Chain A
C-alpha cells in the first residue's frame, strides 16, 4: 500500500506541471486583447502608454519567455498581479479561499449526510414509494441549475418569507470575527460570539443547501446500490442467522462496507461543488474565490483567471489523492496487502 501511495504522490509534481502548463496555454492563447482591461479602451491608441503597460506586465516578451517566467514565478509562489485589483493574485485567493471552503465544506457535509440517509432509506424500501421519492429528489438536484434555484429561493425565503438571511456572509456593516480559520462560523464560535455565529449560519444555510442538493443525488444513488449489494451478501445472512437485530445488521455490518465506495465519490462530488460554487457565489454575493473568478473572467484579468483555474485543478488533484488515501486507510483489506 505504501508503495502505491508513494507512486501516487510521485506523479503529483508531473500532474501539477501539466496543470500549470495547461493554465498558461489557456490563459495566453488569447485573441481578446488583455491590454483593454489594463489601460482602458481609450488609451489603446496611445503608443506610449501601451508600450509601458506591455513592459510592466511582461507582455512584450515572446511566449516561451513568458512561459518560463510564469513557471519560475509559480515555483516561488508568485501567481502574478491581478490587472483589476492590482494586488498579488495569491493574496486575493488567500483572502477569499476561507469563504469558499466554508461554503463547499458545509454543502459537502450536508449533502453527504442527506444523501447517505436517503440512500439507506431507498435501499431498505426498495421499489416502494420512498425509493422512488429518494430517486426523484436526487435527480431533481442534479437537473436544477444551481444559480437559478439559488436566485428563486433567495427571493422566496429571504425577500418574501424572511426565514433566512440575504446575500453575503454577514449583514451589512457587521464586523466579522477576528480571523483564526477564516470560517466565520468557526471563528465566531471560538470567540464565543453567539449572535454572530447565528447570523453567519443563517447566511450560510441557503447557498449551502442549494449546493448540497446536487451532491445528494450522487451520494444517495451510490449508497443505495452498494448497500443493496452488501445486504444480499453472505455475511449479512450470517449476522441475521446469529440473531442480530435488523437495525444492527444494517448500521454496523452492511452500511460500514457500503460507505467505503462513498469515500471515492466524495472527490467527484467536491469537483461538482467547486463548479457550482462559482455560480452560486455570484448569486449570493459570497465573497469567495468563485465570485472572484467570475469578476476576473469578465474583465479579462488573466493572471487572476489563471490563478483561480490553477487552484481549481489543484483542489481536484488533492481531493482525489486524499480520498484514495482515506479509502486505503478505511479498508483493512487494502491496508495490509
Chain B
C-alpha cells in the first residue's frame, strides 16, 4: 500500500453493477471576456459514476464546481468549454450534436434545480408545463392522455387534489409543492438518472426532509440512479450510498457514505464534519479557517493547502491525486502518507 503511485480508481458502485452514467475526467472552463484571458477553470478533471438504483451525493461549497459538472453532463453550458468524457448507457454525450442531447435530456437524464420559485414558468399552468415536458419526448401523446398522466404524476409525488392542481399557476403553490411539481416533470419521461442540484436549499427544514424522502422513494421504486448535489451534509447522511466531496473544481474525497461519516480522510472533509483533528494529537474540533480559493488564482499544488491545518511545504509542489485511504479515496498526500507509514509501523 505504501507504493501506490497511480491514481486509484474511484470506488465503484456496490454489487459491481454496470454504471448507467460515467463522468470521466471532465474539465469545464468558463471562457474569458477577451482574447488572452485563459478563462476560469471551474471543473478540473472530475470523475464520477452512478449505477441504477444507487444514490451518489456530491458535496461542496458554492463555486466548488459541482453544479458546473452536472450542467456539463447535459450539455447545458452556454459560455464554457467542456473537455473529458460523459457516457450515458455506453453512449458518449460530450460533443454529441444538440439533437442527440435533447433526446437524452429529460428522457434519459433529468435534472432539477435549486430554486423551485423560479424553476417554473409563472404564466403557464402546472398541467400545461407537465404536458410540455411529456410532449418533448412523446410527440404523439394525445391531450387527454397527457392530462391523465399529469394527474398520475402529481399523485405520484404526493400532491393532494392532483386534478385540481393541474389547473393551478405556480404562484398558487407553496415552495415544497413547486419542488414536487418539478420532480414530477423530471420523472415524466421515466429517466434513468435524476440529477438533483440543491433540491432542498430553498425550502423550509420540515419540507426539506419530505423532499429528500420522496427522492429516495423514487429511487427505490423506479430504480433511478440519483445524483444529489448539495452543500448540506445532513441531507447526505440519510439519502446517499456514496459521497464525493468537491473542492475548487476537483474531487478531494470519494467513498461509501458510512465510511466517510465514520472517518473522513481529507482535511476538508473533516472540516466539513466539524471534527478536524491533528493526527498526532488528541482531537479538538477546529472549524475551517480562511476563504474558499478563487478559481482564478489557484495555488500550484493542493488547492486546499492555504486553508489546511495539516499543510506541509511539500503540499505546494504538485496537486495531489486520489489514493486509497481505508474504504475511500482521498486526494491528500499528507493523510495518505501518514496512513501508509502507520500501516508499516503496525
Contacts and interface: CB of A to CB of B under 8 A. Distances in A.
Chains A and B touch each other in the complex, with CB atoms below 8 Å apart: yes
A181 B115 CA distance: 52
A253 interface: yes
Given A248-B132, A336-B171, A243 B102 contact: yes
Contact of B105 (A234, A235, A241): A241
A235 B171 contact: no
Contact of A243 (B107, B123, B172): B107
A331 B132 CA distance: 20
B106 A242 contact: yes
Contact of B123 (A234, A237, A331): A331
Given A252-B132, A332-B122, A234 B172 contact: no
Contacts of B115: 234
B105 A333 contact: no
Contacts of B132: 239, 242, 244, 248, 252
A246 B132 CA distance: 13
Interface residues of A, number: 25
A257 B122 contact: yes
B294 interface: no
B119 A243 contact: no
B259 interface: no
Interface residues on B, range: 20 to 34
Contacts of B118: 233-235
A330 B137 CA distance: 29
Contacts of B104: 243
Interface string B7-38: 00000000000000000000000000000000
Contacts of A233: 118
Contact of A238 (B102, B137, B182): B182
Interface in B165-191: 169, 171-172, 182, 185-186, 188-189
Interface in A208-246: 233-235, 237-246
A260 interface: yes
A87 interface: no
A242 B105 contact: yes
Nearest to A232: B78
A8 interface: no
A256 interface: yes
Nearest to A230: B121
A252 B74 CA distance: 22
Contacts of A239: 121, 132
Given A242-B106, A330-B123, 10 more contacts: A235-B120, A239-B132, A242-B133, A242-B186, A253-B124, A256-B124, A332-B169, A332-B171, A333-B122, A333-B171
Interface of B: 74, 76, 98, 102-107, 110-113, 115, 118-124, 132-133, 136-137, 169, 171-172, 182, 185-186, 188-189
Interface of A: 233-235, 237-246, 248, 252-253, 256-257, 260, 330-333, 336-337
The 3 closest A-B pairs by CB, nearest first: A243-B106, A243-B105, A234-B118
